[in-house]
């Protein structure tokens, strides 16, 4: 009798349930931690996880917190973060973090359990079409229709998530397929005939831009998160030093260029330093690498770098000439492109120099004048703690340590980016494209589990912190020594700023405290402040203290940093502080607002404030 090869088991083939196959494929992909919240449809997965000792399963207190934690893990390492939920509301609770990972190009695999395959389409209890709901916000998605496909699908999901332009991948698995017995070949091959993440380096296109770069009188580099994703930060620094070109990063690219380096102008965009925005917009040649010309950077797209020759290097062909037409569009991995350019510059005898002022004396002198005239600064008030001051003091106390900072979204996020200087990539973890409040605390959990040897500080606002405050329970149970600073102004600060700019300071649901009280950041009576974060933290078993006086700030930060366990520092700050500078939406870099404006309903231009910006042209 002839035996069909397909009926013959290999020595490595094993019989197991679909859920066990899922977990064993995780192991083969190197997964060491997953964030998973159980429910009726996902119980088989949790049973399988409970028997796998090489994977640490973290129980978040909300599926959104778990998925943000997986994203924080991915941002800190570049490895794939993993989150798991049950069907229905469990799956829909993960949609915001999935969208967040998609917009910021973070590698993540989200596994959602689904009702039994025979019940799909019947509006069964806790059934939702999460496959359809997430289709626009994932790099790829799978609905398992045959349990035998689980090992292959999981391998493909991890491969897709981490290669090319990273992003989230969804796997939706019906419950009966989790329970079904299947034969598993651990060496199952992937089947992705239409996916080719490795692209040939277009050396001809790169050769064409080299003379343009070398011929520039006022060149500038605009580096985005793609430089970080491709692990190209060292290559970027080499390129900047060989060509002696100043570097501005995006918010997602913070740390790709050491921010204390003399060629760094920090980050550009709506709240970036004036000198960063001016450097890029007044350049004659702009080299955009791993950036997508989003509106928070460009402002009015038509006027962004309007007189510059723009070179755009990006892995994703869809980003080239999407938001901004450029002179040279080069599809390439940032690391590979920079490596090629560096080799070429080396062959031409251009040695690395940290800062050769004389090589571009006129251009560098102009940039230095902008730095001197428009430094990042803030108002110090006699009886109040400025929010910027908190970040600055934290920086002075920790600048020698390799700290990871996560943030929520709002004014505190911008202050953190402005007044803390990052020397390495993957040390500033924040929600950029989606701007998701509630990101900071759970992302800090993921960052800690990814790199437990590094200190983690979450900078949050009182509004953003409340959105995932339940994760304090996870932090306590899992003994994560995460430090948190709340810049508490009792308001939705960024929305208040826009109310000042556009609505004559009329407050419309932006006061978070008891409306029967007037907020005073110098209040020291606990009963006058709502909510009371110190008491809330005590309920979670987390050490916390409130700071209202400037003289108490530095000692309190020191106590927080020295604590062996998790800590929350609730710092009371004024609500009428604006994030400055600010380029109002849809306007250009010369329309920057430099002073706080309230009550007139109009955002004045820099020229109206007696700060006419000098032009290089």
Catalytic residue numbers read 63, 125-126, 175, 494
Secondary structure letter of residue 508 according to DSSP: S
Q: Provide the b/e sequence for 265-286 (b: ≥16 CB within 10 Å).
A: bbbbbbbbbbbbbbbbbbbbbb
Query: What counts of helices (H) and strands (E) characterise the chain?
Result: 23, 20
Query: What's the CA angle centered on 526, arms 523 and 531, to 5 degrees?
Result: 100
Pair 225, 293: CB distance under 8 Å: no
**Can you point out the beta strands (E) in 185-263?**
219-223, 247-249
Nearest-angstrom CA–CA distance, 276 and 272: 7
Q: What is the DSSP string of 448-459?
A: HHHSTTS-EEEE
Pairing of strands 168-174, 219-223: unpaired
Tokens of 347: 């062959």
Peptide bond into 415 cis (omega under 30): no
The single residue listed with the structure tokens 């020594």 is 481
**Cα→Cα distances 616→80, 307, 342, Å:** 44, 11, 28
Nearest-angstrom CA–CA distance, 602 and 589: 17
Q: Which of these, 18, 120, 34, lies nearest to 85 by C-alpha position? A: 34
Q: Which H or E run includes 407?
A: strand 404-407
Nearest-angstrom CA–CA distance, 557 and 567: 10
Q: Which of these, 364, 392, 365, 367, lies nearest to 378 by C-alpha position? A: 392
Pair 78, 143: CB distance under 8 Å: no
**Can you point out the beta strands (E) in 49-102?**
56-58, 81-85
3 state DSSP class of 118: helix
The single residue listed with the structure tokens 């901004």 is 324
Q: What is the DSSP string of 291-334?
A: ----HHHHSSGGGTTTTSEEEEEES-GGGTTTSS--SEEEE--H
Write the secondary structure of 342-394 as one string of H (helix), E (strand) and C (coil).
Answer: HHHHHHCCCCCCCCCHHHHHHHHHHHHHHHHHCCCCCCCCCCCCCHHHHHHHH
Pair 308, 285: CB distance under 8 Å: yes
Using left for φ > 0, alpha for ψ between -120 and 50, and beta otherwise, residue 227 falls in alpha
Q: How far apart are the first and last CA of the chain?
A: 86
Pairing of strands 181-184, 14-17: antiparallel
The single residue listed with the structure tokens 């110190």 is 534
Pair 94, 85: CB distance under 8 Å: yes
Beta bridge partners of 328: 311
Pair 70, 35: CB distance under 8 Å: yes
Q: Which of these, 527, 87, 165, lies nearest to 335 by C-alpha position? A: 165
């Amino acid at each position: 009798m002839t035996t069909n090869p397909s009926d013959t088991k290999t020595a490595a083939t094993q019989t197991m349930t679909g859920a066990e196959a899922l977990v064993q494929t995780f192991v083969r992909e190197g997964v060491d931690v997953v964030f998973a919240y159980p429910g009726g449809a996902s119980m088989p997965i949790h049973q399988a996880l409970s028997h796998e000792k090489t994977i640490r399963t973290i129980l978040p207190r909300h599926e959104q917190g778990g998925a943000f934690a997986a994203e924080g893990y991915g941002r800190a390492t570049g490895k794939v973060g993993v989150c798991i939920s049950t069907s229905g509301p469990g799956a829909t609770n993960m949609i915001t973090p999935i969208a967040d990972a998609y917009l910021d190009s973070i590698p993540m695999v989200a596994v959602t359990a689904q009702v039994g395959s025979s019940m799909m389409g019947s509006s069964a209890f806790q059934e939702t079409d999460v496959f359809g709901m997430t289709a626009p916000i994932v790099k790829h998605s799978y609905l398992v229709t045959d349990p035998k496909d689980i090992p292959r699908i999981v391998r493909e999901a991890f491969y897709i998530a981490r290669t090319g332009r990273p992003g989230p991948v969804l796997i939706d698995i019906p419950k009966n397929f989790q329970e079904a017995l299947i034969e598993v070949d651990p060496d199952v091959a992937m089947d992705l005939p239409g996916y080719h993440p490795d692209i040939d380096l277009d050396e001809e296109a790169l050769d064409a831009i080299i003379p343009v770069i070398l011929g520039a009188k006022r060149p500038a580099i605009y580096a985005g998160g793609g430089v970080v994703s491709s692990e190209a930060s060292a290559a970027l620094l080499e390129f900047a030093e060989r060509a002696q070109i100043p570097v501005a990063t995006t918010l997602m690219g913070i740390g790709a260029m050491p921010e204390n380096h003399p060629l760094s102008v920090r980050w550009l965009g709506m709240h970036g330093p004036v000198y960063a925005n001016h450097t890029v917009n007044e350049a004659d040649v702009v080299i955009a690498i791993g950036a997508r010309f989003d509106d928070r950077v460009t402002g009015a797209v038509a006027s962004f770098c309007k007189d510059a020759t723009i070179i755009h290097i990006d892995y994703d062909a869809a980003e080239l000439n999407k938001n901004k037409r450029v002179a040279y569009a080069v599809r390439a991995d940032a690391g590979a492109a920079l490596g090629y350019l560096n080799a070429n510059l080396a062959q031409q005898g251009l040695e690395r120099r940290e800062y050769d002022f004389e090589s571009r004396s006129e251009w560098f002198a102009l940039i230095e004048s902008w730095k001197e005239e428009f430094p990042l600064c803030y108002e110090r008030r006699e009886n109040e703690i400025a929010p910027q001051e908190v970040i600055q003091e934290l920086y002075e106390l920790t600048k020698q340590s390799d700290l990871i900072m996560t943030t929520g979204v709002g004014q505190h996020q911008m202050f953190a980016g402005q007044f803390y200087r990052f020397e390495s990539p993957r040390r500033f973890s924040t929600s950029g494209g989606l701007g998701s409040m509630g990101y900071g605390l759970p992302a800090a959990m993921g960052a800690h589990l990814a790199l437990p040897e590094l200190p983690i500080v979450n900078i949050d606002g009182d509004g953003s912190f409340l959105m995932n405050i339940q994760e304090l329970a996870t932090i306590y149970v899992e003994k994560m020594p995460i430090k948190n600073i709340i810049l508490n102004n009792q308001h939705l600060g960024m929305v208040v700023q826009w109310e000042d700019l556009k609505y004559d300071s009329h407050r419309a649901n932006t006061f978070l405290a008891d409306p029967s009280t007037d907020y005073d950041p110098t209040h020291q009576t606990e009963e006058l402040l709502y909510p009371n974060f110190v008491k809330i933290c005590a309920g979670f078993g987390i050490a916390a203290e409130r700071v209202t006086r400037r003289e108490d700030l530095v000692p309190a930060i020191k106590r927080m940093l020295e604590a062996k366990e998790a800590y929350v520092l609730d710092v009371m700050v004024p609500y009428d502080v604006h994030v400055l500078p600010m380029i109002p939406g849809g306007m250009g870099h010369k329309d920057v607002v430099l002073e706080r404006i309230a009550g007139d309903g109009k955002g004045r231009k820099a020229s109206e404030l007696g700060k006419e910006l000098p032009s290089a042209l």
